Amino acid sequence: MYDLIVYGIAFADMVYADIPHLPEPGEEVYAGSFAFAGGAAYITAVAAARLGLKVALIAPFGNDAISRLLEEMLAREGVDTGLLFRAERPVYSITVAINHGGDRAFLSYQEGMDVEGLSLHAVHALEQVNAKWVHLGAGHRTAEVARVAKRQGMSISMDVGWDEAWLKSEELKSVIALADLFMPNLKEAQAITGSMEATRAAEQLGSIIPFVVVKLGPEGALLKLRSAVPQVVEAPRVDRVRDTTGAGDNFASGMLYGLIRGMDASEAVRVGNFCGSESTKGLGGNGTSPSLEALKDWLSVQESGATR
């Protein structure tokens, strides 16, 4: 029995930071810091495994050196790789992230994707295993995977990537309705609902699915649960943010850890906020993803502070 299965794409992220200035054409500039890390679905899977959950990843991997390296990294982190969708060809999802001037720029490349094959593989894999939760992106081919997970008695959480046309489509809303929990960020929630006010956007999403969490970045997250009034759960303050890559994925892992371990929704959001905040202190999506021990220490401090 898995605690969590994460379904999606695993990126290889090359993260550059502490850059004196961006290079002009023909110029070479040396960054002061660098990290090679997994990205996208990889981040959520690893962050959840660090919290002690039994995690498997369903993602496309090829026979190339980068795929082999990412699989070795997953295994070292304790993520089960037995459900990977393997192809006898290179499968590349690579991003170069440049942190400079308080913002980030990305250069990405993909090759060898078989979206339909991945979806069919995921359906078959979920029919063969048991899991408490499945976490996946609300995409064009998500619906059938979600339906199989539901038939298998698994709880379903979804986030969504930025694709303006898809975010504004009616089809997306029908996909979201299959989930037990939907976790967009504020910009995504605004695009889906057409409402710029966070509370109103959460309420509109709440008419589609009864458990919504809108991620608000450093302000925390907005929880909309069934017929309750939306509630802002504040995030811990971070004095020095180094890299926000994967903060939302770390939030998802922390929140799902809380729910799987029997916490109520508000407490699970607090754990998600802690994990997301901690992840911004280092380079790459999992550079500073917290361990279970770090989470327990933080919860202990919060508890003792609340009882004083």
Distances (CA, A) of 307 to 89, 93, 117, 164, 195: 57, 48, 53, 46, 39
Contact 62, 87 (CB under 8 A): yes
Give the pLDDT score at 169: 96
Contact 74, 42 (CB under 8 A): yes
User: What would the pLDDT profile of 237-251 be if each residue is shown by its tens digit?
Assistant: 999 999 999 999 999
Q: Which pTM does this prediction carry? A: 0.96
Average pLDDT, the chain: 96
Q: Distance between CA 153 and CA 83 in Å, rounded?
A: 19
Q: Which two tokens stand for residue 190?
A: 């605004």
Tell me: pLDDT of 183 over 60.
yes
Give the pLDDT score at 7: 98
User: What would the pLDDT profile of 1-35 be if each residue is shown by its tens digit?
Assistant: 999 999 999 999 999 999 999 999 999 999 999 99
pLDDT band for 293, please (50, 70, 90 cuts): very high
Average pLDDT over residues 266-273: 98
User: What would the pLDDT profile of 30-50 be if each residue is shown by its tens digit?
Assistant: 999 999 999 999 999 999 999
User: What would the pLDDT profile of 127-154 be if each residue is shown by its tens digit?
Assistant: 999 999 999 999 989 999 999 999 999 9
Q: Which range, 81-85, 105-109, 301-305, has the best average confidence (pLDDT)?
A: 81-85
Contact 13, 284 (CB under 8 A): yes
pLDDT band for 307, please (50, 70, 90 cuts): low
pLDDT band for 103, please (50, 70, 90 cuts): confident
Query: Domain 2-22+31-306 belongs to what topology?
Result: UDP-N-acetylmuramoyl-L-alanine:D-glutamate ligase (3.40.1190)
Tell me: pLDDT of 91 over 60.
yes
Tell me: pLDDT of 82 over 90.
yes
Q: Which two tokens stand for residue 172?
A: 């997306």
pLDDT band for 286, please (50, 70, 90 cuts): very high
The sign one gets for the Cα dihedral 138, 247, 135, 190 is negative
Q: What is the Cα Rg of the chain in Å?
A: 19
For the chain, percent of residues with pLDDT exceeding 70 = 99
pLDDT band for 123, please (50, 70, 90 cuts): very high
Give the pLDDT score at 308: 54
Domain boundaries defined on the chain:
2-22+31-306
Tell me: pLDDT of 289 over 60.
yes
